[in-house]
């Protein structure tokens, strides 16, 4: 469809830019109509009502397409009911005589990267009414529109189901832990022991980027916190040289080391990984070394299950961080080693299922992406 005729969004849709009402009209007890300020209020398909407004300024109608016009730009939901929209949103009402609503929804999804590129602003990137109005979409007949939307909806549904399967498998691991050992952090079955009393915890460093001899033709794997994705690390993005290792606080750590991200953007803080190779790390990684006192894989899974608790310990006004002492003093449930290994064996079986589901998810996502490219460029 890339060669098909295009038409501007303004020619087939009404665009209503949001405007925040006076804050004195906000309430959390249902007085007035639902008020949505931006992307933070969005659910999977419909926004989640947390705030109401009794003197709305800009109103979206039921079934309007809501689009985030401030960073992150381009997120989409449908309005479930009449609602007030703040300046972080715009409501798009397709002309049903000219265009399918679902087609417009998917067309805008296909334009997300383009809209982000057009955003401007020093503090928060945003797009204007004019940018939305002049967004070009394929000018095709109703039958083609419905076919596009139907195909994308089916594939997207499969993707969502695959993601739910992965979450269900994660829940299965958590349920098995509780079944075997009791509550993750409040069990009375077995003792809790500080990490420092089980093994050593160290951190790494970053060789100077100004010294090319520290990086050029490097062969030593160097792990950053962005690579900690609750997975086994066997490959890394960057490598350093022997000179880089010697000329910095970076250190080699062995296979079986558990890595915990002490700081990083977004969801990074508290993420974990298990080293499947010898490697060095940056200073933001806490490296929990293997020990005979506890199974390393069990230690890793315990930290993975403790993600929320770890994040709650972080300190700092701007960007809350963890530190080495927090990791060293973190209390780990330590059942008998044979039970640790039994749990690890169960996790390994579940992980095999997760690999199969992830492979199917990746293949379906590739198909979805190729169709979006075909339909909307």
pLDDT score at 319:
77
Looking at residue 377, its pLDDT comes to 81
CA distance 22 to 3: 47
pLDDT of residue 147: 96
pLDDT tens by residue, 28-70: 999 999 999 999 999 999 999 999 999 999 999 999 999 999 9
- Check whether 215 has a pLDDT greater than 70: yes
pLDDT digits (tens, 9 = 90+) for 328-361: 999 999 999 999 999 999 999 999 999 999 999 9
- 53-62 pLDDT, tens digit per residue, is 999 999 999 9
Which pLDDT does position 3 carry in this prediction? 64
Confidence of residue 121 (pLDDT cuts 50, 70, 90): confident
pLDDT over 80 (residue 73) = yes
Q: Which residue has the higher pLDDT, 3 or 200?
A: 200
What average pLDDT does the chain have? 95
Q: Please return the burial class of 5, using the count of CB atoms within 10 Å of its CB with bins 0-12, 13-18 and 19+.
A: exposed
Find all residues with CB under 8 Å of 282, minimum gap 6, and list them. Answer: 204, 205, 206, 222, 223, 224, 225, 250
At residue 223, the pLDDT reads: 97
Is pLDDT above 90 for 110?
yes
Q: What is the pLDDT of residue 320?
A: 84
Confidence of residue 317 (pLDDT cuts 50, 70, 90): low
Determine the pLDDT at residue 316.
76
Q: Would the CATH topology of 141-190+335-377 be identical to that of 199-333?
A: no
Q: What is the pLDDT of residue 4?
A: 75
Domain residue ranges of the chain, discontinuous segments joined by +: 6-137, 141-190+335-377, 199-333
Going by C-beta distance under 8 Å and a sequence separation of 6 or more, which residues neighbour residue 224?
A: 237, 238, 281, 282, 284, 285
Inter-residue contact 220 to 190 (CB < 8 Å): no
pLDDT value at residue 1: 43
Poorest-pLDDT segment among 93-102, 113-122, 158-167, 183-192: 113-122
Q: Choose which CATH entry (3.90.220.20, 3.30.1280.10, 2.130.10.10, 1.10.3470.10) describes domain 199-333.
A: 3.90.220.20
pLDDT digits (tens, 9 = 90+) for 248-266: 999 999 999 999 999 877 7
Could you tell me the fold of the domain covering 141-190+335-377?
Helix Hairpins (1.10.287)
pLDDT at 64: 98
Q: Residue 2 pLDDT > 60, yes or no?
A: no
The first and second tokens of residue 37, run together, are: 């300020």
CATH H superfamily, domain 6-137: DNA methylase specificity domains (3.90.220.20)
pLDDT at res. 264: 72
């Amino acid at each position: 469809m890339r060669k098909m005729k295009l038409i501007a969004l303004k020619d087939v849709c009404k665009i209503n830019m949001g405007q925040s009402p006076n804050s004195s009209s906000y309430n959390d007890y249902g007085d007035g109509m639902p008020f949505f300020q931006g992307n933070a209020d969005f659910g999977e398909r419909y926004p989640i009502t947390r705030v109401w407004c009794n003197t709305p300024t800009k109103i979206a109608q039921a079934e309007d397409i809501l689009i985030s016009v401030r960073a992150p730009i381009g997120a989409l939901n449908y309005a479930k009911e009449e609602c007030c929209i703040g300046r972080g949103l715009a409501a798009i009402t397709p002309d049903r005589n000219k265009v399918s609503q679902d087609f417009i929804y998917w067309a805008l999804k296909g334009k997300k990267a383009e809209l982000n590129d057009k955003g401007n602003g020093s503090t928060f990137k945003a797009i204007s009414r004019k940018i939305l109005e002049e967004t070009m979409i394929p000018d095709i007949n109703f039958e083609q529109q419905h076919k596009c939307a139907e195909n994308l909806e089916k594939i997207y549904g499969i993707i969502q189901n695959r993601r739910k399967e992965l979450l269900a498998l994660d829940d299965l691991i958590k349920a098995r832990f509780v079944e075997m050992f009791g509550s993750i952090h409040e069990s009375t079955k077995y003792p809790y022991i500080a990490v420092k009393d089980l093994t050593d915890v160290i951190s790494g460093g970053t060789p100077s980027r100004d010294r090319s001899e520290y990086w050029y033709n490097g062969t030593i794997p160097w792990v950053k916190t962005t690579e900690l994705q609750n997975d086994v690390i066997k490959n890394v993005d960057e490598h350093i040289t022997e000179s880089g290792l010697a000329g910095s606080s970076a250190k080699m750590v062995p296979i079986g080391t558990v890595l915990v991200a002490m700081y990083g953007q977004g969801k990074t803080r508290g993420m974990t990984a298990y080293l499947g190779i010898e490697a060095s790390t940056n200073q933001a990684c806490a490296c929990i070394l293997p020990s005979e006192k506890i199974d390393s894989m069990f230690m890793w899974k315990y930290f993975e299950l403790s993600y929320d608790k770890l994040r709650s310990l972080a300190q700092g006004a701007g960007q809350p961080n963890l530190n080495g002492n927090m990791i060293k003093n973190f209390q780990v449930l330590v059942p008998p080693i044979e039970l640790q290994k039994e749990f690890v064996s169960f996790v390994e079986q579940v992980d095999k299922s997760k690999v199969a589901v992830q492979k199917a998810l990746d293949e379906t996502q590739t198909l979805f992406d190729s169709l979006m490219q075909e339909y909307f460029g």
